[in-house]
Structure 1
Amino acid sequence: MGSSENDADQAEASAVEPEEPAPAERTGWSRWVVIGGTLIAVLLVGAAIGVFATRLTDGSDAVPATPGAGSVEVGFAQDMSVHHLQAVTMAGWARDHSTDPEIRQLAFDIERTQTEQVGRMKGWLMLWDQPEQATGAYMTWMTEPMGHAGMQMPTSSPAGGAPMPGMATDADLAKLRSLSGRALDVEFLQLMLRHHQGGVAMAEYAQDHTSNDAVKALCRSMLVSQGAEMDQMKLMLKGRDAQPLPAP
């Protein structure tokens, strides 16, 4: 009699307890939650830094002049955010689809760094009461040759469909997503190296043409981090018997 009661209790308990997902399913789900949560947190931290970094100048209580529409500061923040977000997209794809630990680590580092920088620039735009994206053509804030190569950016999209220097075209992105193995790794390195080269030229121009200390500081940070990553990617391409793409 006691045994029958225990069996009934166990049957009732098993009927109401939800089934746990398989270990592999839990691992995949948890991984996406962690990655997504981390990137959102990084973006928010960047936005907070962007807001507070512009409130002080040289450690004093003076509030710097608010950059207006069409200024180097606003144009840089708007366009570099778009530029960075494509790098984040490419890095996220490589991190999830490459089997090479070195590629995956590089992609993660780029994704995290540039997500934080996007948050910082969006924080500035919010503080300056400016839209997150320009309503007209890209790069109109650049009126002189830029970068060491003296590139002049036209006010319309250049040939090939890339909206800004170094950015991948839709065809480039489609090709990246179609590849696997070594071919994926090489394509990612080539596209990201060219992407960095274009971004560095933009950061150099902004650094040289702004008087805003926070913008100058971020440009310096970009030049240091992306310079180191470009050197690393050149070595990684060489180690995979591949060459960089022509510079933008």
Structure 2
Amino acid sequence: MTERDGTRRLSRLLIAGSLAAVLTAVAVAVALLWPANGSGTPSRDSVDAGFARDMAVHHQQAVELSFIVRDRTDDEDVRRLAYDIINTQANQRGMLLGWLDAWDLPKSSQDPPMSWMGHGSMYEAHDGSLMPGMATNTQLDQLRQAKDEDAEILYLQLLTEHHKGGVAMSEAAAETAKIEDVRRLAQGMVEGQQAEMDLMADMLKARGATA
């Protein structure tokens, strides 16, 4: 095993361990509360289920990016943003997976990502990037190797693109999902990630860079 492989494996283990408790707790809570705040059980190919599956994958990578940069810089503003992303998106991911459990639906699908949006075939997955905005494996490796301001800039650029893809999916779910709680969560994601993109634009500008 090379040093890079070992680092990547360690990063994934740390992420998995950090998320396990959150996912379990949220899944149990959602299962207990559902369907008190719901309006029925969606089908496997519904917008609600497709959004839950795809956004869980999308969020997983945002958390991974944030764990990586946390160890590549001492800048308090970037580390604070990374901490917020880790907590917010891990929590939301747990909720999405908890809903799928409560609906008794699979957490993965053979359908192309975003097929619930009506254009799943428009994006060609490549180098680990499964949906719009997701970083490639090559970009993740670049972030693992960067340090200090170089790592900060790359992280902010990758996360900005990541948020753009997430906002597009969330907007679609906020408009077309059948279950009120799903629509509400999706709209919250739109508003939260747009605010973070504004913040990241300012942080990039302060570092002489752009998205």
CA offsets 1:124-172 (integer angstroms, 9 cap, x no match): 10011111122332111111xxxxxxxx552662566621010001111
Cross-structure match for 1:238: 205
CA drift of 1:210 comes to 1.2
Q: Please, which of 41, 46, 56 is the counterpart of residue 36 of structure 2?
A: 56
Indicate the RMSD between aligned Cα atoms, in angstroms.
Answer: 2.2
CA offsets 1:213-243 (integer angstroms, 9 cap, x no match): 1101111221122111111101000000001
Task: Give the gaps of 5 or more residues in structure 2.
Answer: 1-14
Q: What is the distance in 1 between the residues matched to 2:161 and 2:17?
A: 29
CA offsets 1:5-43 (integer angstroms, 9 cap, x no match): xxxxxxxxxxxxxxxxxxxxxxxxxxxxxx987644433
Cross-structure match for 1:10: none
Cross-structure match for 2:6: none
Matched, 1:92 2:67: yes
Q: How does 1:141-160 map to 2 (within 5 A)?
A: 141-143=116-118, 153-154=120-121, 157-158=124-125
CA drift of 1:211 comes to 2.0
Matched, 1:82 2:62: no
Cross-structure match for 1:226: 193
Seen in structure 2, the aligned counterparts of structure 1 residues 156 and 221 have a Cα distance that, compared at 3 Å, is closer
CA drift of 1:115 comes to 0.3
Task: Describe the SS at the equivalent of 2:71.
Answer: helix
Q: What is the distance in 1 between the residues matched to 2:52 and 2:16?
A: 23
Task: Describe the SS at the equivalent of 1:110.
Answer: helix
TM superposition score normalised by structure 2: 0.85
Q: What is the distance in 2 between the residues matched to 1:88 and 1:209?
A: 26
Q: What is the distance in 1 between the residues matched to 2:102 and 2:128?
A: 32
When the two structures are aligned, how many residues end up with a matched partner? 198
Q: Judge which range, 204-213 or 153-162, deviates more.
A: 153-162
TM superposition score normalised by structure 1: 0.73
Task: Give the gaps of 5 or more residues in structure 1.
Answer: 1-34, 58-62, 144-151
CA offsets 1:152-195 (integer angstroms, 9 cap, x no match): 55266256662101000111111111111110000000000100
The structure where helix makes up a greater share of residues is: 2
CA drift of 1:81 comes to 0.3
Task: Describe the SS at the equivalent of 2:117.
Answer: coil
Q: Where does structure 1 differ by over 2 angstroms across 4 or more consecutive aligned residues?
A: 35-54, 152-162
Structure of greater Rg: 1
